[in-house]
Amino acid sequence: MYTVEFHAMASPCQVLLPAASEQQARALAQGAIDEVRRIEVKYSRYRDDSVVTAINRAAGGDAVVVDDETASLLHYAGQLHGISGGLFDITTGVLRKAWDFKQARMPAPGQLDALLALTGWHLVERQRTAGVNTVRLPKPGMELDFGGFGKEYAADRAAAKLLEQGVRHGYVNLGGDFHVLGPQLDGTPWRIGIQDPRHDDGTIAAIDVAGGALCTSGDYERYFDHEGKRYCHILDPRTGWPVTAWRSVSVLAPLTAAAGACATIAMLKGEDALAFLASMEVAYLAMDAAGALHRHATC
């Protein structure tokens, strides 16, 4: 087995797969890596030439024509909004402007209220007319942010590229979001460690995965501590304030996009997280704010 490492979406990434040589492994992995980078270029809100930037720049103006892939992702975002009861909302990325997790800066008075007025998935106008897809943000200053599922979608697409080449063992790992193509060569599952949310070099469990996806969402990815309280980057769309009920949630599902979405929605659900995960019929491992572990099925 060979590991091909690369960097994308502000994360360390790797493709692990069997090959006759390192050169062959890199050749096999290149298509998957190219696909990840294609998606990053297309949907990153940090790039002036991305689809997301074009949509955001036009907020308050005319509708923007988008391709079928983008329309499908917007449809998926709408589905996630529905199953989450409105908590998964890709218009709430604008709330990040009130928080600075690098400088440990809290929102200024009134800042969150002003930004919350620019959010709401129900405001997003989507149409398909004569085979042409359009999207419009009606209020100036509104934004879409695909960060809630973009990396996970890229992991699934990268895995699809490898499967097309006949790869049936190994995995894609994009910053801790795993899409497992198949078990190790001897048939045993991969053992993937789950990071301890309070100790960078520790784990809270190891989960065996022979196929499918494993994603973790937590309050330790971007955060700061202030007066004994942790403020993380996962923001409640109803208030603009960080979630506090869970330290981390890890989910096993057939696709990375599904696993990642379920983990994030669970973080947003607070005390209703476990009931939500049960309703989605996924395996999970969750650590609550007190440090207690909750698990279901194979986790």
Question: Residues within the annotated binding site?
Answer: 148, 264
Contacts 24+ apart (CB under 8 A), 268-274: 268/84, 268/87, 268/88, 268/234, 268/236, 268/237, 268/243, 269/84, 269/87, 269/245, 270/243, 270/244, 270/245, 270/246, 271/245, 273/245, 273/246, 273/249
Q: What is the three-state SS of 144-212?
A: CCHHHCHHHHHHHHHHHHHHHCCCCCEEEEECCEEEEEECCCCCCCEEEEEEECCEEEEEEEEEEECCE
**Cβ 155 vs Cβ 178: under 8 Å:** yes
Feature table: binding site for Mg(2+): 148, 264
Q: d(Cα 263, Cα 246) in Å, to the nearest integer?
A: 11
Q: d(Cα 125, Cα 115) in Å, to the nearest integer?
A: 19
Judged on CB neighbours under 10 Å (0-12, 13-18, 19+), 134 is middle
**Ordered alpha helix ranges (H), the chain:** 22-43, 51-57, 68-83, 111-116, 150-164, 256-269, 273-280
Give me the count of residues in the chain.
Answer: 299
Residue 4 sits at φ, ψ, to 5 deg, of -110, 115
